Amino acid sequence: MYRMFRSLRGGAFWSIFVTSLIFALLHGFNPEMLHYGIFGPLYYMLAALFLGIVAYHTNGLAAPIGIHFATNMFNTSIWGYGTSTLENMGLQNIVYRHTLDMPFALFGIFVIVISYGAFQFFKHKMNRS
């Protein structure tokens, strides 16, 4: 969809924004995500924007797919999804929580974005030397 929208007017930014918005609408408005109020759709919108930017900068889908896979594995194995179709309580025996904490998930996305940005910065700096 990104390439389809990019071939229209608007360029890369609008293409990433429109595809992220569609992703957020499809995933964020599921009944189990609406349980979190605005944090469900907002989580998916921010995650999709980040993955779209990563796809744009890497000119491929390998990095966004890897990040998406790692995030899903972390969410299902550590946090758990108690209210979703993938009922999994994660490490419930260590930290008792009935469901995913969406404000903490937004903080997790922020940490991932900062970490990825720092990695790319130092990688670029090392390649110039």
Cα gap 104→111, rounded to integer Å: 10
- Mapped onto helix, strand or coil, the DSSP state of residue 92 is coil
Q: What is the pLDDT of residue 72?
A: 78
Residues 6+ apart with CB under 8 A from 90: 76, 77, 78, 79, 80, 81, 97
pLDDT digits (tens, 9 = 90+) for 40-95: 788 889 889 999 999 888 888 888 888 888 887 777 766 655 555 555 555 554 45
Cα gap 80→101, rounded to integer Å: 10
**The pair of three-digit structure tokens given for residue 66, joined into one six-digit string:** 């890897």
Q: 70 is in which domain, residue-wise?
A: 2-128
Which helix H or strand E contains 2, and what residues bound it?
Answer: helix 2-7
Q: What is the pLDDT of residue 93?
A: 44
Q: What is the pLDDT of residue 49?
A: 92
pTM equals 0.61
3-state helix, strand, coil in the chain (%, to 5): 70, 0, 25
pLDDT digits (tens, 9 = 90+) for 7-45: 777 778 888 898 889 988 888 777 777 777 778 788 889
Total domain count, the chain: 1
